[in-house]
Chain A
Amino acid sequence: MSLRSDIHAAIDEVAPPAPLLARQVEAFVLADENERSRFSRRGRIHWTRPLRGAVAVLAAVLVVAVMAGLVMGGRLWREWTVAPANHPHTIDVGDLERLRAKPLALSTLQPGADCPAGPTHAVANFHALGLSPVLFGDGPIYSAGNGERYVTQWGTYIETDYWVDPSFAGLVLIRARDLRTGQPVVFSNSTFSGEANVSDQLVGNDFLLDQTVQQHPEFVVDTRGLRPPQAVAYWRSWGTLQGYPAGGSGCIGFQVDGAGFSEVFVVSY
């Protein structure tokens, strides 16, 4: 027998026909969120933190070293006129530099300390506002915190939604760190996160689900340039793919700076 037929035979033994699966999938996809739970055999585990070995830690250190070199050698941002879909405004470089000058208040945790996840807010009328039921942050920028998880050899990516309190409009800078390792979190402007330009600073590239993911050390957005929400009452929002390298702890601190505010929240992935 050939290797091909051997593999077919070996796998066929553990792959019984599933003639109803296509119907199951259709019903699952078309169901609403509440109905969907009865389809799942198991709850989705979003918050697990896998153990990682010494090899992964070493790889992460190398990645950080490369990222640091790229950041230091990064080009200057003179003028940034970006995709009209999400950024019809030209980013004011002076305003951005003022936000960048704000010191990071993301302290490294003591060994053995619990990840101080939060603050969070439960939103009673989240459907009416187009929000998630629980939000991270004190505002005016809020994050869903969690979302779809993707893993590559580089590390772990989380696709997360952010919302803007209607009382705020202006430039926003988001930076994040792993609170145990101090490693910076990267943000992506792949098609996962819409068409926004994330930042002029680029620290690396990765490949995820047939798409190139550009890794930026910060996320910059002028909320005045966000697409109008789908419903009048909804808050403006955007999606971001954010990632931390293999070997990270998953205890991630986020600092969001804008004119007149600075907020910090922590998410444990």
Chain B
Amino acid sequence: MQHVADSPLSTAHPWSGQAFTDLLAPLVEPGYRLACAMLHDPHAAEDAVQEASLIAWRKVGRLHDHSRLRGWFLGIVANECRNSRRRRWVTSVSHGLPAGLSVVSGEERVVRNTDLRRALSQLAHDDRLVVVLYFHLDMPLEEIAAVVGSSVGAARARLYRAVNRLRPDLAIQEALQ
């Protein structure tokens, strides 16, 4: 099957490349942290951010409200992470944490972190996304809802459900602290 390059027209918009990359620069690091949290693979995470940046560059002319750039960009990163996981699954190549990883270290901290990453990786994509955005990127629910593409209430419900799966023994308010 042919690989079809993107149209030269699709790259045309009123932004200069430098202006766009300057605007994007402070979002690269949170995008990378998000991708690492979603993929558990720093190399794949860098690729996801790189691809997401190119998509954002091609689409930014169509983003009417530039104050929403962060949520919009992180949504693209999350989508790239989802695509990346699908590709890896289809091609049977695993760069992430094996489900049955055997931790030989006796350190309790290492075991706990490994268990938590495994539990995170077993959440559905959108559930994992809200957990990462809330706990790891410390984003407010309003912005999380914009990234996930849902209402604030739905994002909150998704977060509660995901937290309950991760820590069924914790009261939700305690877990959200």
CB of B109 to closest CB in A, whole Å: 7
* Inter-chain contact A117/B1, CB cutoff 8 Å: yes
Q: Give Cα distance in the complex from A28 to B177, angstroms.
A: 39
* Inter-chain contact B42/A11, CB cutoff 8 Å: no
* Inter-chain contact B9/A46, CB cutoff 8 Å: no
Chain A residues, CB < 8 A from B10: 147, 161, 239
* Inter-chain contact A29/B57, CB cutoff 8 Å: yes
CB within 8 Å of B: which of A151-165? 151-153, 161
A211 to chain B: closest residue by CB = B149
Number of A-B residue pairs, CB cutoff 8 Å, is 184
A214 interface residue, CB < 8 Å from B? no
* Inter-chain contact B131/A7, CB cutoff 8 Å: yes
Q: Give Cα distance in the complex from A218 to B131, angstroms.
A: 38
A190 to chain B: closest residue by CB = B62
* Inter-chain contact B29/A11, CB cutoff 8 Å: no
Interface string of A23-51 (1 = CB under 8 A from B): 01110111001001001111111111111
Count chain B residues whose beta carbon lies closer than 8 angstroms to a beta carbon of A: 79
Interface residues on A, range: 35 or more
A25 in complex: contacting residue of B3, B9, B21, CB < 8 Å: B21
Chain B residues, CB < 8 A from A36: 54
CB of A225 to closest CB in B, whole Å: 17
Q: Assess A16 versus B42: contact at CB under 8 Å? Given A29-B57, A191-B62.
A: yes
A20 to chain B: closest residue by CB = B46
A15 in complex: contacting residue of B45, B47, B83, CB < 8 Å: B45
* Inter-chain contact A30/B33, CB cutoff 8 Å: no
Partner-A contacts on B (CB < 8 A) = 1-10, 12, 17-18, 20-21, 24-25, 28-29, 32-33, 36-37, 40-43, 45-47, 49-51, 53-55, 57-59, 62-64, 68, 71-72, 75-76, 79, 82-83, 86-87, 89-91, 97, 109, 112-114, 116-117, 120, 126, 131-132, 135-136, 146-147, 149-150, 163, 166-167, 170, 175-177
